[in-house]
Amino acid sequence: MTEIAHRALATNGISLHIAEAGSGPLVVLLHGFPESWYSWRHQLPALAAAGFHAVAPDMRGYGRSEAPPEVESYDQVTLAADIAGLIGALGEDSAVVVGHDWGAPVAWHTALLHPDRCRAVAALSVPYRGRSAEPPLAGLKKIYGERFFYMLYFQTPGVAEAELEADVRGALRKFIYGASGEAPDNAFLATKKKGDTLLAGMIDPDAMPDWLSESDLDFYEAEFTRTGFRAPLNWYRNLDRSWHRTPELAEAKVTQPSLFIAGERDPVLRFMPGWRPILEKLTADLRGVVMLEGCGHWTQQERPEAVNTALIDFLRGL
């Protein structure tokens, strides 16, 4: 960790905390929920050693970055503008943007909305699937009906916050384990009914997988104990707002060189049937799809060496 430096930079009207390592072509690494820059702890030194300037921000609302109180401050147009501004604040015209989980949609939107700032894009776990024909919440309600779906559960401010903040470490332990490659099939949100809570019925493991140490869990616990979960949950509360703000993306393709990496056991992909042909259709220069055997949702933490190799090969091929 001694190779990683920290500072704050102004972008798009807020301050973002960044962790960075190395020098050379800029690579920006965007984390997801419920994480922080720390989810890229294995990639920062590896990319630096390969000759790149690797930068992982705490995204808007997370960690030591600013967290505006308004729910509407977390739509994809705003989040992509954060990253475009960050690239400029780092003194560069453009960068390769890499995102995992919620960071993946931000990476895709940065490529689409700020093509001059994004020379290539890589996504982990969440493929590009274009703009839906109707607002996302309406579509999710049709699909899930009387069943529980976490994105719908997250919509009412205060409800999920209260559940998660009642026992931050326990919530993180259950959520991270449930979506990992080590969890049993269908352990993550698969059998819940409408009216259930997020953590009800989730497995509380006796021990976390080897790739997440107690000190790693300590770090995440400390961050979310300090900040709470309201701002990260507000990202989910902007699903429809993001859709309404981007009508120009109805027929949009990602034109930059792109890469997709995912775990074969990632439960998030189960929510996206037929994702691969859609991704291939909507990316004009898809350089590869890397599926990691036995890997769950936390791609770059579960399989750091494989992810580092795939990213470095992609970057060197640009």
User: pLDDT tens-digit profile of 155-173?
Assistant: 999 999 999 999 999 999 9
pLDDT tens digit sequence for 236-262: 999 999 999 999 999 899 999 999 999
Q: Hey, which CATH number is domain 5-316, 3.30.1110.20, 3.20.20.70, 3.40.50.1820, 3.40.50.300?
A: 3.40.50.1820
pLDDT of residue 2: 53
d(CA 86, CA 103): 14
Instruction: Assess whether pLDDT exceeds 70 at residue 293.
Output: yes
**Which residues have a Cβ under 8 Å from the Cβ of 172 and sit 6 or more positions away?**
34, 217, 220, 221, 224
Question: Which residues are the active-site residues?
Answer: 101, 297
Other CB atoms within 10 A of residue 273 CB: 8
Closest by Cα among 55, 104, 22, 118 to 272: 104
* Prediction pTM value: 0.97
Q: Which residues are bridge partners to 19 per DSSP?
A: 6, 56
Closest by Cα among 94, 107, 92, 90 to 40: 107
Beta-sheet strand order (sheet of 95-100):
5-11, 14-21, 53-57, 26-30, 95-100, 118-124, 254-263, 283-292
